[in-house]
Structures are given as structure tokens and as C-alpha cells.
Copies of this chain bind each other. A is one copy, B any other.
Amino acid sequence: MNFASDNWAGAAPSVMAALARHSTGSAPAYGNDAVTQGVIQQFRDLFETDVAVFFTGTGTAANALALTAYAKPGGIVFCHPEAHIQVDECGAAEFMTGGSKLVSVGGQVNGKITAEGLTDALAALPEGSVMHGQAAAVSITQASEHGTVYSLDEIRAIKAVAQSRNLPLHMDGARFANALVSLDVSPAEMTWKAGVDVLSFGGTKNGCWCAEAVVFFNPEAARSFEYLRKRAGHEFSKARFVSAQLEGYFENGNWLQTARHANAMASKLSAGIAAAGGRMAWPTQANEVFAIIRKAQADVLRKSGAVFHPWPEHAIPQDLKPSEEELCIRLVASFATEGSEIERFLSLL
């Protein structure tokens, strides 16, 4: 009954198998090996376009470096107030970009920023005012930090606003696969066809050990990226150990299966909790459940071995705020979550 986070899981079997398969023999370092080149081609096939792809070992690195590729002096990145880049990455984006400011967009709905909120935020930033700095990018997280998923229309609407100020749209896809199978669309549809310029493609939470990719849909924007990555210490010498993970991740559609499994487990959890009288702080659309339950229930669960984190209340919508007897908890399902864990959890409620 471990629902602490999808990063508490280890590696999926196909990922480990690929790593083992490529662990022997000599291969050029720094990405000039066949495995890496093959996986880069897979990204092109997957996204149905010519992309520039660069691997990193952490999502924080992927996000911060992606934003650095578009950084400007006095640059401002617009994002959700609870975006991972805003509150969970120790200022990595600010540091890596040389001091950008991350401005939270108001008027969010279901853990997502809205085109209207972004319009307002941009309106408060006069164009060409040196004092205020300059808008540099818009970043959204798909699936969001609250377990919800932007629809293609929502992404397009945000892009339209960003486009009006010539701003690139970054997608933090730490849970890209979970969002993709939730929407049941293609990677191309959820990204460049909807207006995404650069993607942090996450593999770690969905079955890799540490495999993330920065994907540029306009390869020209990536022209200095290799230097950005290297100077930040994010180029692996034995690069094939990341690409091997992704090879195993992609083979036989494994990544979509693990994501579907995690989402299904979350849905089951969510439905079961609702049936037991719990409320959802945000709808369950991917592999994260934000449930408001009674504190007494949480105690019983914990004593029985369930592992999960409480969730801070300040972000919960006003009409859903927990009462004194209640508590918001986050439950995350992963590729490794078993149905029996869910059943036991629900039976304890």
C-alpha cells in the first residue's frame, strides 16, 4: 500500500532488461553510440516530425535547461502557482537561466492555468518596459501537479495567448505518458500540433531509473543546447545508459501500458474513496488522487501500513476545503502499483 509517489518505485522490467543488454561491450561516449542514436530516431518517429532531443537524468534538469534555451535577460516565465518549476525545484529554473522570474498565473481551474488567467498576467507586464523585464516563456505541466490533464483545446487556447506575445510554450511532461493515455491522443497531437515548442519528456516516474528528454519541436531553438547541458554537468559520459532505459521504455509500447496501468489504479482508488464518502480536491484524470478523507480514516490507514503524504490545504478550492476533522491526502499510483494494494486500502477506509 505505498502511494507516496511514483518516484518511490524502482525500474520497470523492460527498462532493466535493456540496461543489462547494453551493459557490456565498448561504445562511443557522450551520445555517439548506436543505442542513443536509435532512441533519438524513435523520438522523431513518435512525434512524427524532426525534433532535436537531448537526454538528462532528472526532470528538474530537463525543465531548467529547456527554459534556459529560451531565456532572456530580465526574463519572466509564466506558470501555475503550484507548478513543479515554481515550488519543487529549489529555484533551478531561476539559477540555470541566470535569474529569470517565475510569475504565477491566477484564475486557475482544476490545477491548470487558463488562457484568461494568462491574458491577465501578461496584461500586467507592459511590453518593452525595461524596468519590468520581459516575458520569456509560458510553462504548463501535463499531467498537472494536481492530477488533472489539459485538453487539447485548453493547450491551444493557452498557446494562442502566448503566441500573441511571441512566447514559446513549454510543457513539463514529467507525467507525459499518463496524460497521453488519459487523453487518448498521439504525442504529436498533445505537443507541437497543439502549440508546444519544447517538452520535458519524463520517463523516470513511469518506469525508468532516471531518463528524461528535452524535446525541441523547432530544432533551431536547440542550437546551443549541448553547451547549456554540458556546462551544467548534465551530459552523461556513458550516455547509452539513459538511452538504453528509453529503449526498454518504448519497446512494445511498454511506456503506454505502464501509464495506463497507473492511471487505472488511480481511477480505482478515486472511485473507491468517493464511494466511501471521500471527496476529490481535483478530478482524477491521470495517476494521482487528491482525496479529502477523515483524519480518523487516515490514522487507521497509516497504522495498517499505507504510505501517503498529506497535501497542503492552501491550494485546495475554497468550496472543497477540508473541515477540522478532515485531511487532504495525495495518493500516487505507478507502474508497480498492484490491484491488491488498492483493494486492501479501500477495505480499510
Contacts and interface: CB of A to CB of B under 8 A. Distances in A.
A268 interface: no
B131 A230 contact: yes
A23 B4 CA distance: 17
A100 B314 CA distance: 23
Interface residues of A, number: 79
Number of copies of this chain in the oligomer?
A: 4
A90 interface: yes
Interface stretch (A54-62, A138-146, A177-185, A286-294): A54-62
Interface stretch (A26-34, A108-116, A275-283): A26-34
Nearest to A12: B23
A266 to B, nearest CB: 16
Main secondary structure of the interface of A (DSSP, over half): loop
A27 B10 contact: yes
A253 to B, nearest CB: 21
Contacts of A25: 10
Contact of A10 (B4, B22, B98): B22
Contacts of A312: 124
Contacts of A24: 10, 336
A238 interface: yes
A29 B56 contact: no
A62 B89 CA distance: 19
Interface of A: 2, 4-5, 7-11, 16, 19-20, 22-30, 56-65, 72-76, 87-92, 94-102, 124, 130-134, 204-205, 209-210, 224, 226-228, 230-238, 240-241, 307, 312, 314, 336
Given A58-B234, A95-B99, 7 more contacts: A7-B29, A8-B27, A9-B238, A26-B307, A57-B210, A94-B99, A131-B230
